[in-house]
Amino acid sequence: MFKNDRISAVKPSDLDLIDHAIIRELQHDARLTLQELSGRVNLSPSPCARRVRILEENGFIRGYHAEVDEARMGFPFSVFVSIKLDHQVDDRLQAFEQAVEKYEEVLDCWLMTGSRDYLLRVAVADLVEFEHFLTRRLTKVPGVAAIESSIPIRRVKRAYSRLS
C-alpha cells in the first residue's frame, strides 16, 4: 500500500493497485459495505478499512454523495454559460463568485483561461426559467460584460476521476 504506511503526506505515487481498486469501486457505488468492498478488492475487511481511512484522511476520497437525476427532480434543461467580466481584478472575481454561490440554478462554476472568465452549468426546468435566471439575476451581477449560452443536445460521456 503506502510506502512506510504513513498516514500523512501520501502522494499519488504512493497508491498501489488495491488503492486504485478501492477508489474505483467506491466511485461506482459509495454505499458498498466494508465487507462487500473488501471482497471486490480481494482484501480482508480490516486492512481494507484502514486503507479507506488513509485515503479519506489524505484527501484522495473527499466525501460520499448520492447522484441525483436532475431531470426527475424537475430540472431537465441544462445550459452552459460563458461569462466575461469587464475587469479581471480580485474584487470583481470575488464579487462574481459570491453572487454565483447564491444561485441554486448554478450547479458548476469554473474560473477559466482563454477568452471567457467563467464557465457555468445551469440546471432549470425549461427555457422560460433559464430566461428568468439570465435576465433577472445573471445580467444584474456587477462586472458582467458578456454572456454566451450553449445548450447541450445530449451527454456523450460521463466519467469519474481518472486513475492511473
Residue 3 has pLDDT above 60, yes or no: no
Residue 124: closest CA among 102, 137, 105 = 105
The grid coordinates listed for 140 are: 444584474
Residue 129 has a CB neighbour count (10 Å cut-off) of 16
The structure's pTM equals: 0.81
Average per-residue pLDDT for the chain: 92
Q: How far is CA 12 from CA 17, 30, 90, 158, 164, in A?
A: 11, 21, 32, 23, 9
Mean pLDDT of all residues in 42-55: 97
Q: Specify the pLDDT at position 8.
A: 59
Residue 9 has pLDDT above 80, yes or no: no
Q: How far is CA 141 from CA 31, 98, 152, in A?
A: 40, 10, 24
- In degrees, rounded to 5, the angle at the alpha carbon of residue 32 between the alpha carbons of residues 26 and 36 is 110
Mean pLDDT of all residues in 131-137: 97
- In degrees, rounded to 5, the angle at the alpha carbon of residue 95 between the alpha carbons of residues 91 and 96 is 120
Residue 164 has pLDDT above 70, yes or no: no
With beta carbons less than 8 A apart as the criterion, state whether 79 and 86 touch.
no
Mean pLDDT of all residues in 138-164: 91
Q: pLDDT digits over 62-104, tens only?
A: 999 988 999 999 999 999 999 999 999 999 999 999 999 999 9
Q: How many percent of the chain have pLDDT more than 90?
A: 85
